[in-house]
Structure 1
Amino acid sequence: MWNELKYIFKLSRPRFWLYLAGPALLGMIFGVTETSNFLTLHNLAVGLYFLIPANIMLYGINDYFDRDIDEENPKKDEKEESYRSSKIVDSVIGLSALAAIPVALSLPQRVYPLMLVFLGLSYQYSAPPLRFKTKKYLDSISNGLYAFPFFITYTWLSGSLPPASVMAGAWLWTMSMHTFSAIPDIKPDREAGIQTTATYLGRTGAYGYVTAVWILSAAAMTLHSIYLGTIFLIYPVLTTLVFYLDIDDSRAYWWFPYINVFTGMVISISGLWVLVHG
């Protein structure tokens, strides 16, 4: 049992936990107007859902439906593992998916459509019949699921959707991040007959797409805040450097969790400063 629990921990991609939990935290920070509304047990419970169960659900579904092709995936080494089915593993993934129900029921009805889209994209990104991850451009677009924890918590606490420019900027950011993450997989995905945005465009085209979409993301954020737009401009600059300095794609891929945590921390601290000091 201990080995299975360790496997589930690794399956959940702890390096990437903040890709869901981070946006949820940002939605809370920018969605509340008073610190007393931020530091609550309810907020903590919702945040913990997006930190652990949501990640187990998302990556468990992904690895289950990718189990046949992951044997050729170079990422499935010491950092990630291929799917290993067992009663405990399957049960934990199932319970993690069901955890969305009490979380959703604890929130106001206005967030239900957002929660449904998040869960739908989380499943159909990897699972048939749609399996967005195997369809060029749709794989990128559907990765907007990572922005939904922000949309959900912001809408819950503020009473309205985030500004349209912020929603667009966040969705565009996730689209680009997905395609950048898929560049190291171009060879194994092509060998497995999977068409993604990255395999369709090729390495050079994918870098061009990633850079262009991240520029659009920064532009959308600038419409709301020049400060935010400036932070988001870091990403197209970095991908340009990675490409022209011919840095190994897999090496650069593992830098970005740290870069994303850093930029998220800067935005979070800024939001908390405004929340506390006005």
Structure 2
Amino acid sequence: MIRYLLKLSRPRFWLYLAGPVLVGVTYGATTIDGLFSIPALALFAYFLIPANVFLYGINDIFDADVDEANPKKDEREVRYRGSKVVPIAVAISVLLGLGLLLITPKVAWPWFLGFLLLGAEYSAPPLRFKTTPLLDSLSNGLYILPGAMAYAALSGTNPPLLAIVGGWLWAMAMHTFSAIPDIEPDERAGIRTTATMLGKRRTLAYCAVCWLLSAALFGLLDPRAGLLLLCYPALVVTWVVRDVAIDRAYWWYPAINTVVGMVLTVGGLWRVVRG
């Protein structure tokens, strides 16, 4: 059962939540000791596994019927079969997350509560954002909220607005890109998403524009960050020109995002050490 829950939490994507925490910690900390403080370590531990159990557990519970026709569940992921362990694990993950409020300042709380709200309502009724075109993309800014919480917890202030908007656009594009391999299963299940509404080629254009705007906003904060994030729209052009199958390229992004996140994190660490 533990193996099942770990696979349900999508280990390949663990750093999609924990990675922003590392970035938020390195840019929110002012001293080396701050990097290894209790809030920093607790936030990373929570968003590495429990938060992923929460997010994907809810997703699998409310997508059980849709996932019957999704080929990803045959190899890369698992299908929810009605086990009571999953709702219990989701509830425990929420309680563990609420425990973070005891060791973080109030300025960090709204970011976490926003994560819980968007994480639940992306898949669960009554809102179920994932079935409404554009809202499914917009709501996936939730992936940068752990980083915003970490920054606020370490610095005592909210992150720069440019970083929030730029990160939100990046997450919107990443989510919508990942929905391209699901276009056919979603259409068969009668689910409407941004990707099913736009179709493959226009969805790729949408992702490229979001990633380009994200790079521009981060470039206003630091030109080096903007140049780094230009790799994302450049990759979209590469996939189109070389006619790379998106359901193949999709599985390369955990590695791509890890490298980009590592560069951003090292930049933050250098700032702290140099300071």
Normalised-by-shorter TM-score class = over 0.9
Q: Secondary structure at the match of 1:238?
A: helix
Distance 2:198 2:29 in 1: 42
Highest RCO, 1 vs 2 (Cα 8 Å, sep ≥ 6): 2
Match of 1:212 in 2: 209
Q: Which amino acid aligns with 1:265?
A: M
Deviation at 1:274, TM superposition (A): 1.6
1:133 aligns with 2:114: no
Match of 2:101 in 1: 104
> Which residue among 52, 57, 61 is the counterpart of 1:55?
52
Deviation at 1:172, TM superposition (A): 0.3
Distance 1:221 1:119 in 2: 26
Deviation at 1:202, TM superposition (A): 0.2
Q: Structure 1 regions of 5+ residues with no counterpart?
A: none
Q: Which amino acid aligns with 2:164?
A: M
Q: Secondary structure at the match of 2:217?
A: helix
Q: Secondary structure at the match of 1:84?
A: coil
**CA RMSD of the aligned region, Å?**
1.0
Alignment coverage as a number of residue pairs: 275
Cα deviation per residue 1:181-217 (whole Å; 9 max; x = unaligned)? 0001111111111111100000011011000110000
Greater displacement, 224-233 / 95-104: 95-104
Distance 2:201 2:111 in 1: 35
Match of 1:66 in 2: 63
> Which residue among 18, 27, 45 is the counterpart of 2:24?
27
Cα deviation per residue 1:19-48 (whole Å; 9 max; x = unaligned)? 000101111100011101111233212210
Distance 2:152 2:221 in 1: 17
Q: Structure 2 regions of 5+ residues with no counterpart?
A: none
Distance 2:230 2:188 in 1: 34
1:95 aligns with 2:92: yes
Distance 1:117 1:192 in 2: 29
Deviation at 1:93, TM superposition (A): 2.1
Match of 1:174 in 2: 171
Q: Secondary structure at the match of 2:75?
A: coil
Deviation at 1:92, TM superposition (A): 1.8
Greater displacement, 237-246 / 121-130: 237-246
Q: Secondary structure at the match of 2:273?
A: helix
Deviation at 1:90, TM superposition (A): 2.9
Percent identical residues: 51
1:202 aligns with 2:199: yes
Greater displacement, 34-43 / 131-140: 34-43
